[in-house]
Structure 1
């Protein structure tokens, strides 16, 4: 019936004559017409749940945006989206989305040229380079029983880092000044600088970090405050680039701002 989704619970044995592949707890079946289905094994039972990929994936992707906009807790993520969170990373969709959003940035700047005074800047949220705690296992991975899969998580992070570095190198080579901003406190400045240099970054105009007073602020207020200070200092903000909504909220934004694919989903 149109407009409805169906859920089947079937035995694994009933799929024995079909072509399907297993990736840990996630199964994939490709039908003759090219349509794909994902399967999620039910723990402690000899059954799997079958859900149509497209409908549920689109719902979970839309809900992820809802989570970002409303700053919801991960506990409010629907249970059905845990499987698709893993799929989003493992099957390369996150990296494809990230590449597409970065292509949009590159094509925008391709036809622009900064002034020679060094005041045309792009504000870069370095959360997309180094998460606040890069060794922390994502809560959704823990709840999905994937906390021991650090090998593929590390590979996704490595490829995302390489793509981000390539974008920033293109901006720098075109003459744009890069100002890095982070949610970390100022006491971590030396360690953060070493991490950036070790990862291949260099030549940034400045690194903005939180003072003790700013640690008590909501992050979006911190970003607003620091953007306003840059404009008051005479900088012309060409763009703000981040995967997080808090960095892209409020006044004093750039002429063009870019929301990158978010690794939360």
Structure 2
């Protein structure tokens, strides 16, 4: 009887803890992160990169400083990118290409081949809500530098004989500026640059990019690999044989 009474007394307390945990999880999903420790922000970033945390709008205010430090030159971001690229290169070593001109690889552009850190430095590293007009103005400046490890990977894949396709969420109206920026950053020799057409404006990347991959597959291309900084770059129908996500805790695209 004493055990039963104790259980009854403890149950409301356990229920309270459960509700508290649920409230905390909901707070995370709305980017209202509590706590000041770097470890808490590290946990937030891990949830972002793993795809556990979705549909968030801005970096939590208490984690802006953490993200800034993470993204700084010679910071952990650059090391994480290198490790991802070395992992990809190890995978590439295992492949036996057919060599008929249909062995393909797909890259996203922003935060995959080109870095927009100079832009996000002026926008609290994702701590401010995304502004399409100011970002479009930045794109027109054509000053996005290459991600060094991605440029290395790109050139290795070209040398190996892959046909490289660049599949981006940028608009067709930005083609000339994008091509110029890519050339300036050192990227050349791609087989196709795929941008959003007029009828594709506003569609989610998670729907638009699989459709474009499907078009490549129907043309006979074998998609051996795909690289992007968002899960929406990589997942969905017509996925590549292997998909590799590069780090990016500054923004989320569905």
Question: Scaled by the length of structure 1, what TM-score is found?
Answer: 0.67
Distance 2:127 2:60 in 1: 12
Offset of residue 195 of structure 1: 1.6
Distance 2:52 2:122 in 1: 16
User: Residue 180 of structure 1 is aligned with which of 163, 166, 182?
Assistant: 166
* Greater per-residue helix proportion: 2
Offset of residue 214 of structure 1: 0.6
Offset of residue 191 of structure 1: 2.1
Query: Residues 183 and 219 of structure 1 are in contact (CA less than 8 Å); yes or no, is this contact kept in structure 2?
Result: yes
User: Residue 80 of structure 1 is aligned with which of 30, 53, 62?
Assistant: 62
Distance 1:216 1:259 in 2: 23
Offset of residue 105 of structure 1: 0.5
Distance 1:106 1:254 in 2: 16
Give me the CA root mean square deviation.
2.7
1:20-169 aligned within 5 A: 53=38, 55-65=39-49, 69-74=53-58, 77-90=59-72, 92-127=75-110, 128-130=112-114, 135=119, 137=121, 139-141=123-125, 158=145, 161-169=147-155
Structure-2 change in CA distance of 1:98 and 1:110 (3 Å): same
Query: Residues 169 and 205 of structure 2 are in contact (CA less than 8 Å); yes or no, is this contact kept in structure 1?
Result: yes
Distance 1:186 1:133 in 2: 23
Structure-2 change in CA distance of 1:264 and 1:143 (3 Å): closer
Residue-by-residue CA offset, 1:219-261 (whole Å, 9 max, x unaligned): 2111011011111111111111101111112110011111111
Offset of residue 190 of structure 1: 2.1
Structure-2 change in CA distance of 1:262 and 1:52 (3 Å): closer
Question: Scaled by the length of structure 2, what TM-score is found?
Answer: 0.70
* Greater per-residue strand proportion: 1
Structure-2 change in CA distance of 1:132 and 1:204 (3 Å): same
Query: Residues 94 and 263 of structure 1 are in contact (CA less than 8 Å); yes or no, is this contact kept in structure 2?
Result: no
Offset of residue 81 of structure 1: 1.5
Structure scoring higher RCO (CA < 8 A, sep ≥ 6) equals 2
User: Residue 252 of structure 1 is aligned with which of 238, 247, 253?
Assistant: 238
Distance 2:217 2:54 in 1: 28
Residue-by-residue CA offset, 1:91-111 (whole Å, 9 max, x unaligned): 611111111111110110012
